[in-house]
Amino acid sequence: MRHVDFAPLYRSTVGFDKLLTMLDSLATPDQAQSYPPYNIERTGETTYRITMAVAGFEESEISIEAREHALTVKGEKVEENEDSGSEYLYRGIAKRAFERRFQLADHVEVTGASLRNGLLHVDLVRELPEAMKPRRIAITSDAGAEPKQIEATTA
């Protein structure tokens, strides 16, 4: 894939920093990582859930950070003692550290996280401020009022 340089746009635009940063992050090759696998699902009208397969990790080895419009999930496995007397013939369970970033839309907040059966669940909710919610405007009628005269001409 070709690399696109957005530097000239940064110099000639005002107020589009967030958009250009998102475009720049989409163009970077680290978005192609596949570990750990994850699902994003809609669980309600305004609720979402990110589920990540983090088998072998404990709660103390995973950190979740929400900052501005980004959610970062990091996992760092603590080294185990090799003095157990056993020898691995095949090691298929990944023990490598990971960092996965998700871009969050405006007004999306993290409400909680849980780790069950090797799956990390991060719950999100989108709450619009009252000023942005649609509202119903009442229509009033002037049925009992005197008709208004639009134009008056005298002869």
For the stretch 81-136, pLDDT in tens is 666 677 878 877 767 889 999 888 888 889 999 999 989 999 999 887 777 777 88
User: Can you tell me which residue has the tokens 């996965």?
Assistant: 100
Report yes or no on 52 lying in a domain.
Answer: yes
| One domain, residues 47 and 3 | no
Q: Is the pLDDT confidence value at 1 over 60?
A: no
Shared-domain flag, residues 18 and 71:
no
- Which structural domain, as residue segments, surrounds residue 24? 1-32
Quick: pLDDT tens for 30-85.
555 678 889 999 998 889 999 999 888 889 999 999 988 889 999 998 776 666 67
**Of 147, 105, 102, which is closest to residue 128 (Cα–Cα)?**
105
Is residue 54 domain-shared with residue 113, that is, in the same domain? yes
Do 38 and 27 have their domain in common?
Answer: no
pLDDT at position 105:
84
Total domains present in the chain: 2
As a whole number of angstroms, the distance between CA 119 and CA 56 comes to 10
Give burial (CB, 10 Å; 0-12/13-18/19+) of 24: middle
Helix, strand, coil: what percent of the chain each, to 5? 15, 30, 50
